[in-house]
């Protein structure tokens, strides 16, 4: 496999850094040279693991809501049965 190299300094190590496009107000992630900071690629700010975590939290909230709602329905049913 060919090693990727920075076009400016020849370094072979890179990192992902969050950045904000000032005029557009959009967050992006630069893949950039760890030595000189020259960007070599731009990633969408969307991070799948963060989105999955947010969805899991939402599902937990919905589950809690429906459990409470189920208790509410059970309470009303028992009250009506009296
Ligand atoms: Zn570099």
One domain for residues 10 and 34:
yes
d(CA 17, CA 60): 31
pLDDT tens profile 10-55: 999 999 999 888 888 888 889 999 999 999 998 876 666 666 777 7
Say how many Å lie between the CA of residue 39 and the centre of ligand 1: 8
One domain for residues 82 and 51:
yes
One domain for residues 62 and 33:
no
Q: How far is CA 34 from the centre of its chain?
A: 23
One domain for residues 39 and 17:
yes
User: Who surrounds ion ligand 1 at CB < 5 A?
Assistant: 6, 8-9, 11, 33, 35-36, 38
One domain for residues 39 and 79:
no
Please state the φ and ψ torsions of residue 56, each to the nearest 5 degrees: -65, -40
Number of domains composing the chain: 2
pLDDT tens profile 48-80: 666 677 777 777 877 777 777 777 667 777 777
One domain for residues 39 and 53:
no
Predicted TM-score (pTM) of this structure: 0.52
Question: Residue 1: is its pLDDT beyond 80?
Answer: yes
> The domain containing residue 5 runs over which residues?
1-46
Say how many Å lie between the CA of residue 8 and the centre of ligand 1: 5
One domain for residues 70 and 81:
yes
Asked if 76 and 64 count as a contact pair (C-beta separation under 8 A), the reply is no
d(CA 29, CA 36): 16
Handedness of CA 12, 17, 21, 27 (dihedral sign): positive
């Amino acid at each position: 496999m060919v090693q990727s190299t920075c076009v400016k300094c020849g370094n072979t190590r890179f990192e992902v850094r969050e950045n904000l496009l000032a005029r557009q107000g959009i967050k992006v992630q630069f893949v950039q040279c760890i030595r000189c900071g020259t960007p070599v690629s731009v990633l969408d700010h969307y991070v799948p693991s963060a989105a999955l975590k947010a969805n899991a939290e939402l599902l937990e909230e919905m589950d809690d809501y429906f459990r409470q709602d189920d208790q509410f329905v059970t309470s009303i049913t028992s009250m009506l049965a009296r």
